[in-house]
Amino acid sequence: RGRVFFQLSKMLERQGINHRVKPTPDSRNDVATLDSAMGTIKQALEKEKTVASLNEVFSSTAVVVVTQNSGLTVAQLTNLRREMREAGANFKVAKNRLTKLALRGTPYESLSDLLAGPTAIAYSDDVVAPARVAAKFAKANDQLVIIGGAMGQTVLDVGGVEALAQLPSLDE
């Protein structure tokens, strides 16, 4: 049993994951303990993929809008995502901790301070699209609140995002 856990720990180290897999003293079933360890490994790998994916987005996108989405239903979030896609933007709800890790080393690192509570990000290569869709949706739904954003290293407050929403888009 100890050898299996040692091998799992070494495998994680080779993947760059700082996590020790140890058998618990009260574990009576090695298979259950091993399944639990594998679940932990899968979660760690998924989180790592999420951070890498978001980091790639933050490294290459033109604008990021940060919103608070407390109380939105699944149907409302689905409609918002659809509207964002139609405008050429993306809308993503992600854990704040993972998003903060992904912001490191990108032009949008200063947005970390805005990530508290139930937040989501909208982003696009068209600097107007996410701001316009978020502002329009926020007017119709009180549960969505724009809390800020950024264009590269230029941080935008709520007024800045709303001003950006008034500009003509790339298509116009």
Task: Note the pLDDT tens digit of each residue in 91-135.
Answer: 999 899 999 999 999 999 999 999 999 999 999 999 899 999 999
∠90-159-143 over CA atoms, to 5°?
Answer: 55
Nearest to 118 by CA among 84, 162, 71, 159: 71
pLDDT tens per residue across span 24-75: 555 455 555 666 666 777 787 888 888 999 999 999 999 999 999 888 999 9
CA atoms within 13 A on the CB side of 53: 9
Q: What pLDDT sits at residue 80?
A: 96
pTM for this model (two decimals): 0.77
pLDDT tens per residue across span 9-31: 677 677 666 555 455 555 455 55
Which positions ≥6 away from 117 have C-beta within 8 Å? 68, 70, 96
Q: What pLDDT sits at residue 40?
A: 76
